[in-house]
């Protein structure tokens, strides 16, 4: 199983989702300044243009190596990238993990909700993926609320599941199935 970039791009009135481009370096630079994003992702903690370009190239490689898709979240009003949605395949089971982040300046306007709604519906309705899952630390109330708002069901707590910032954290496990749509 592999995922191809959606054609046409996924879009709502607020956001569109597309492949990353070198023009998205300002988004990567802002993500690098967030105290949490670099700890839980591969976004460089110390931004340079070279490190940012290497990060974008890694996002492209996720598709070419069959790992999944990394999509830039683009705010339609400004046409600037403001975050990421990652769809990571767990083959051959037909499971797919969803991950996402928004730069600090883009939070609180429903852009993440729109991006997760678009990507989750697309991957379940248009590909062989039948189960989408997410893991979120209990204290991340915004992310927990976003998943509930987009139809994900809470499945339970996985104790000491996530290695994060040199410590182990519990996560809340969520899922969305094709039949839930």
pLDDT at 139: 92
| Structural contact between residues 150 and 85, judged by C-beta atoms closer than 8 angstroms | no
Rounded Cα distance, 165 and 89, in Å: 24
* Residue 87: per-residue pLDDT: 97
| Below-50 pLDDT ranges, the chain | none
Residues facing 105 on adjacent strands: none
Per residue in 62-97, pLDDT (tens digit) is 999 999 999 999 999 999 999 999 999 987 778 999
At 53 the pLDDT is 98
Q: Mark 61-85 as b/e (b = at least 16 C-beta within 10 Å).
A: ebbeeebbbbbbbbbeeeebbbbbb
Q: What CATH number is given for 10-180 in this structure?
A: 3.40.630.30
0.85 exceeded by the pTM?
A: yes
């Amino acid at each position: 199983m592999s995922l191809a970039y959606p054609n046409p791009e996924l879009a709502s009135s607020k956001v569109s989702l597309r492949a990353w481009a070198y023009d998205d370096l300002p988004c990567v630079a802002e993500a690098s300044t967030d105290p949490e994003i670099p700890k839980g992702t591969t976004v460089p903690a110390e931004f340079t243009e070279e490190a940012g370009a290497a990060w974008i190239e890694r996002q492209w490689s996720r598709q070419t190596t069959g790992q999944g898709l990394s999509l830039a979240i683009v705010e339609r009003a400004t046409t600037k990238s403001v975050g990421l949605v990652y769809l990571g395949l767990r083959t051959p089971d037909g499971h797919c993990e969803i991950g996402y982040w928004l730069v600090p300046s883009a939070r609180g306007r429903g852009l993440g909700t729109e991006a997760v709604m678009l990507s989750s519906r697309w991957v379940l309705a248009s590909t062989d993926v039948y189960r989408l899952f997410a893991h979120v630390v209990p204290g991340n109330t915004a992310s927990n609320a976003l998943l509930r708002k987009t139809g994900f069901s809470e499945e339970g707590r996985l104790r000491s599941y996530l290695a994060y910032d040199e410590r182990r954290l519990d996560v809340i496990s969520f899922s969305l199935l094709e039949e839930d749509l």
